[in-house]
Homo-oligomer: A and B are copies of this chain.
Amino acid sequence: MVVGLLLAAGLLSLGVAFAFRQRVLAVSVEAGAASAEEAHRLRDIASAIAEGAMAFLLREYRVLALYMLGFAILITLLIDDPMTPVREGIYTALAFLCGAFCSVLAGFIGMRIATHGNVRTAASARISLSHAFRTAFHSGAVMGFGLAGIAIVGLVLVYLGLDALLHGVERRTVMEVLSGFALGGSSVALFARVGGGIYTKAADVGADLVGKVEAGIPEDDPRNPAVIADNVGDNVGDIAGMGADLFGSVAESTCAALVIGAVAFPENLPALLFPLAISAIGVLCSLIAVLLTRVQTEADVENALRRSLLIATGLLAIGVYISSQAMLPETFTIFGQQYTALGIFFCVLVGLITGLLTGIVTDYFTSNRFRPVQQLADSARTGAATVMIGGLAVGYTSTVIPALLLALTAVVGYTLGGMYGVAVAALGMLGTIATALTIDAYGPVADNAGGIAEMGGMGAEIRKRTDVLDAAGNTTAAIGKGFAIGSAALTALALFSAFITRAQEFAPELDILHTTSLLDPWVLAGLLIGGVLPFAFSALTMRAVGRAAFDMIEEVRRQFRTIAGLLEGTARADYRQCVDIATKASLREMIAPGLLVLGTPLVVGFLFGLKMLSGVLIGAIVSGVALATSMANSGAAWDNAKKYIEKGYLGGKGSEAHKAAVIGDTVGDPFKDTSGPSLNILIKLMAILSLVFVPFFVRFSLQLFQ
């Protein structure tokens, strides 16, 4: 019965996504366009973007397929133990492939609708602002509900499949095998977030530097060969990247909770499936919230987005309370400690609230409605150096409250629900994901719509409307990034708990539960090494953007030089070549950071064992959360300080202050769109890898010098 309800909720979510898709597709480009010729032009541009996006995806999928196959074999080889009746390795590899497929599917759906929605948003902007908002918002909703639905349906089906294949095997093992699903989803996120992040910034910087600065043509000008790649990048980075990141978080938190839950109540199926119920209820709450979202005036856009998140949060709290009472046993025991259903409810609640508050804090530090960014803009008057220092200081300061909230969540979670509590707290935070992702995906669609309006020559009036939509999207994007980091940190803690739980059950003789002390030299060494990993990883991704952007710059310069009549507007730029270069460069440049993420836990666990690995995981979370938050928020603060000056303050566009702010923004771009968000993947992927490979570490670790 419970399984049926979960499946129904997942399918409902998919149905909702499909319904929104039909509404978006029903918007006619012709109806909004001023003329048949304009409609044709808009469609032309949109299909170039869509083609570029598909070209990137297809090439990425080819690399991804090879990687997935290779990694599936690795999983089988390292985890499988032919001596045992359960071929854990093979089934884990299967779950891994399913997870990867689901994540790819979710990303694909999101990219498709985004590339249909952008042109329709642009066209309907001629009709009215609210019409355009609705189109963009519904496009976002396709992504939000589609992804949530795929996550729920995928997890339930794979669980059912494994349960059938592994009948007679204890539940704990089934759930451990299921965690391969999360590893698959998270591996895709590595490609989408890191590769996508490099793509989007390489294209952006390439387009801006040669087009705007060197050739002196405006942003989104069709004469710029990189302009399509730039618009593709918005989709690649913000839609596919953010989506895969959050898909991974949901899958990982759910699997973490299931692994721990299988130790707590192995025979109580409703209780066991409670983690999935949080996501299922979240879908229902998000549906209500999205349906209630309407926009009338210009000033209303940001509030509308924010209101929908608040409604979803409030409803979810009620829903989780009821389901926790209905599904969980009144009291239960994990590793000798007793916990209550009510306690678990509070764990979910604290996660939910932490997510919301993190968003508010992020807004405060990154929006130019508040003092930090206004002061930052002010510091631009004394030049680029003070802007740099000021922006870094804003980012550094903004780490404090999110860290306190995380600490609070960890304390409440562990105190009221042990390891299980932390895992469900993460799910609480992710409960509103359908809404959160709707808002997130809305942003790039609106951004693209602006680009299409400009390239299609729809006029200043229309461009102003799309700018209103875009500005709201920028604010919510910053909030979304804060949310993504917070949930990544909680997810990583949840995975760490599951890792320890699995290790304790798998090898009770190691007693990992009681030996990961701060005073153990291996734990301490692990912490110190884990602490620098985010710095090393950021250095790699920052340099990667630089090199990829350099390739792009060279190509744009080449086209300006060799294509006669391009700058005069009489010849067409070779957009495809730019897309191709960004695609290749991003895939090439993600190899080094990818190896760091995948290699570190495997090498540390193999050479030095579980204790040091524990230290590495926590060390990476400790400094990673701080660094990721500071990078994302510094970047957004620089961006909005520049926009604040462009509004006309402090001398406005073209002033010395503006020039200084532009330098800040340029530094901030890879901070907020590549390096910062990529750290989410670092901390989560290392943790899920450790969880999945526990049997390998226990059986084969050399435990050098220990």
Contacts and interface: CB of A to CB of B under 8 A. Distances in A.
Interface in A379-421: 379, 382-386, 388-390, 392-394, 396-397, 399-400, 403-404, 406-408, 410-411, 413-415, 419
A366 to B, nearest CB: 15
A216 to B, nearest CB: 16
A527 B407 CA distance: 8
Interface of A: 209, 379, 382-386, 388-390, 392-394, 396-397, 399-400, 403-404, 406-408, 410-411, 413-415, 419, 493, 497, 500, 513-514, 516-532, 534-536, 538-539, 542-543, 545-546, 614-615, 618-619, 621-623, 625-627, 630, 663, 666-667, 670, 705
B518 A615 contact: yes
A667 B528 contact: no
Candidate in A415, A545, A623 with the most chain B CB atoms within 10 angstroms? A623
A384 B529 contact: no
A625 B532 CA distance: 8
Given A513-B519, A517-B517, A519-B513, A393 B623 contact: no
B397 A521 contact: no
Contact of A388 (B386, B621, B663): B663
Given A529-B407, A622-B527, A542 B389 contact: yes
B525 A407 contact: yes
A536 B400 contact: yes
A600 to B, nearest CB: 11
B623 A622 contact: yes
Contact of A543 (B393, B500, B534): B393
Nearest to A419: B519
A414 B622 CA distance: 23
A500 B519 contact: yes
Contacts of A513: 517, 519
Contacts of A399: 532, 535-536
B529 A667 contact: no
B410 A529 contact: no
Contacts of A622: 527-528, 530-531, 619, 622-623
A495 to B, nearest CB: 13
B516 A518 contact: yes
B388 A667 contact: yes
A532 B615 CA distance: 17
